Amino acid sequence: MRGICKQAGTSSNMIHHYFDNMQGLYDAIIGQISDDMFAASLRIIATTPKTQAEMVIKLELFIAEIFEGLITHRFIFKILQHEKKDFKNFKDYRIGLVKFLNQCQKNGFLRASINTNMLPGIILDRLGNQVFHASFLAIDNAENVIGNVEYRASWLADNSDILLFGLAANNPHQ
């Protein structure tokens, strides 16, 4: 606690006043990061797309926003994974994405056979595993999504394509 207070330029009395204890401070930090990460991505999919092409663009942007948030907050994400805790707003993320996907399905932009309730976990699992294991998965630093911006963009494009392939209705590859 003293080290945190020193870094923050405050006293432990102020931390206790606002957060009660270390767990309160921890919860506030996780909550703020969770709000920042998921709120931006949910704004992208807040409205129903008018076309299938718009759906794909919104999902690509949504996936990119979640991925960048996980990379930016990777140390917090790793702590949450280690402690087997969820981001505070994961429920909102899940509800928002399922609502968007259900609207897309209703409009014929998404295959009817897709179980939309499974997709939030699949997307977060794919992106989170890459961030969590980035240093182990890279053959060399050139294949690291954390330190190589060009590789990150390529990885995200390829994985967005994989995640979206088969989601869109009337896919010629079906």
> DSSP readout, the chain?
-HHHHHHHTS-HHHHHHHHSSHHHHHHHHHHHHHHHHHHHHHHHTSS--SSHHHHHHHHHHHHHHHHHHHHHTHHHHHHHHHTT---TTHHHHHHHHHHHHHHHHHTTSB-TT--TTTHHHHHHHHHHHHHHTHHHH-SSGGG-TTT-HHHHHHHHHHHHHHHHTTTBTT-TT-
Amino acid 87: pLDDT: 61
Residue 171 or 25, more confident: 25
Q: In the structure, what pLDDT confidence band is assigned to residue 142 with cuts at 50, 70 and 90?
A: low
110 is written with which tokens? 């998404």
User: What is the C-alpha separation between 159 and 91, in angstroms, rounded?
Assistant: 23
Positive or negative CA dihedral for 95, 37, 56, 149?
negative
Amino acid 171: pLDDT: 54
Q: How far is CA 83 from CA 71, 76, 80, 128, 134, in A?
A: 18, 11, 5, 15, 19
Residue 103 or 138, more confident: 103
Amino acid 174: pLDDT: 46
Residue 3 has pLDDT above 80, yes or no: no
Per residue in 8-55, pLDDT (tens digit) is: 788 878 778 888 887 787 777 777 777 777 888 999 999 999 999 999
Residue 170 has pLDDT above 70, yes or no: no
Q: In the structure, what pLDDT confidence band is assigned to residue 90 with cuts at 50, 70 and 90?
A: confident
User: What is the C-alpha separation between 129 and 135, in angstroms, rounded?
Assistant: 11
Per residue in 108-139, pLDDT (tens digit) is: 999 888 899 999 988 988 888 888 777 666 56
Residue 66 or 174, more confident: 66
Encoded amino acid at 64, one letter: A
